[in-house]
Amino acid sequence: MSAGRFAPSPSGDLHLGNLRTAILAWLFARATDRAFLVRVEDLDRQRSRPEFERSQLEDLAAMGLTWDPPVVRQSERDDLYADALVRLAEAGLTFECFCTRREIAEAVRAPHVSPGAYPGTCRRLTEAERDARRADRAPAIRLRADAPTWTIHDVLEGEVRGDVDDLVLRRGDGAHAYNLAVVVDDGEQGVDQVVRGLDLIDAAPAQAYLAHALGLPEPVYAHVPLALNAEGRRLAKRDGAVTLRDLSPDVAWELIGASLGVDARSPEQLLARLDPAQIPGNPWIVTT
Ligand code: GLU
């Protein structure tokens, strides 16, 4: 199967920017004859709430979006993530990391380490050193990346090259990391087109590398412009009437259609009137 998807985190109501991204993900999928899936990204147990999952799905339906069942929840897919980790470990592509945040922060001040990257401290531990450290602390599992950078193809942004880094795949407390879950889910669900907000483009090269390391096809990407408030900051719920709690789906369609330069009141009308590759490249400044 060939599919696109929208993968919201159920940590709040969807605002106009999120709804626009969902509509564009649907548009890209349908314009290219793909299935369209919705995945609930609820790995962050502190912030995820079942009531937001419910209201998000209701809001997508209220905008007229349809998706191919089932809706999957990441919190129910730990076995898949654990299997993927075993495969990576067997291929020699993981290592245990005992570093605290503070140790990493101190090591990255060293001149030879690029900003934000893992300094490699635990890559080089001997078996005896690891045994000694396991007594103090449960390790995180990191990717032993063997490429410094990776290049993705983005339909809107072109070729994008970015750092891979030794990503955390599983935290010390046993929780699987977002980067692992997204890649495993996309691969397992047949998602070969990833449409999402431009804020996630920096994560894409490492995710594509991880897909490659797992023997999964690398998806085509389309990172869509973000919605900003009048001050030019990322739109948030506090920016006024920006969710379907305060706006009717009709008004939301009017605003989103106008932001895309077309008059559309439903997904089907949008599909008939807009080629997704032609969407405006500038951010959407929302003033309601
Ligand atoms: N769950 C992520 C978010 O809501 C999106 C992840 C993705 O689309 O890859 O920001």
CA–CA separation, 216 and 228 (whole Å): 34
- In angstroms, what is the span from residue 236 Cα to ligand 1's centroid? 16
Out of 49, 200, 223, 224, mutate this one to test ligand 1's pocket (max ligand atoms within 8 Å of CB): namely 200
Of 114, 112, 5, which is closest to residue 65 (Cα–Cα)? Answer: 5
Give the model's pLDDT for residue 111. 63
The predicted structure's pLDDT at residue 106: 81
149-154 and 158-163 strand pairing: antiparallel
Q: Is the CB of 107 under 6 A from ligand 1?
A: no
* Candidate of 24, 196, 235 to mutate for ligand 1, largest count of ligand atoms within 8 Å of Cβ: 196
Rounded to a whole number, what is the distance in angstroms from the first to the last CA of the chain? 40
Query: Does the beta carbon of 226 lie inside 6 Å of ligand 1?
Result: no
- pLDDT for residue 110: 66
Strand order in the sheet with 3-6: 72-73, 35-40, 3-6, 191-197, 220-224, 149-154, 158-163
> Would you say the CB of residue 182 lies under 6 angstroms from ligand 1?
yes
Along the 288 residues of the chain, how does pLDDT read in single tens digits? 799 999 999 999 999 999 999 999 999 999 999 999 999 999 999 999 999 999 999 999 999 999 999 999 999 999 999 999 999 999 999 999 999 888 888 876 766 666 678 999 999 999 999 999 999 999 999 999 999 999 999 999 999 999 999 999 999 999 999 999 999 999 999 999 999 999 999 999 999 999 999 999 999 999 999 999 999 999 998 899 999 999 999 999 999 999 999 999 999 999 999 999 999 999 999 987
Note the pLDDT of residue 1: 78
d(Cα 129, Cα 133) in Å, to the nearest integer?
6
Contacts of 208 (CB under 8 A, 6+ apart): 150, 152, 218, 219, 221
Domains of the chain, CATH where assigned: 3-76+189-285 (3.40.50.620), 80-170 (3.90.800.10)
Q: Which long-range contacts (CB under 8 A, 24 or more apart) does 69-73 make?
A: 71/37, 71/38, 71/39, 71/40, 72/37, 72/39, 72/40, 72/185, 72/189, 73/39, 73/40, 73/42
The CB of 41 under 6 Å from ligand 1? The reply is yes
CA distance 256 to 201: 22
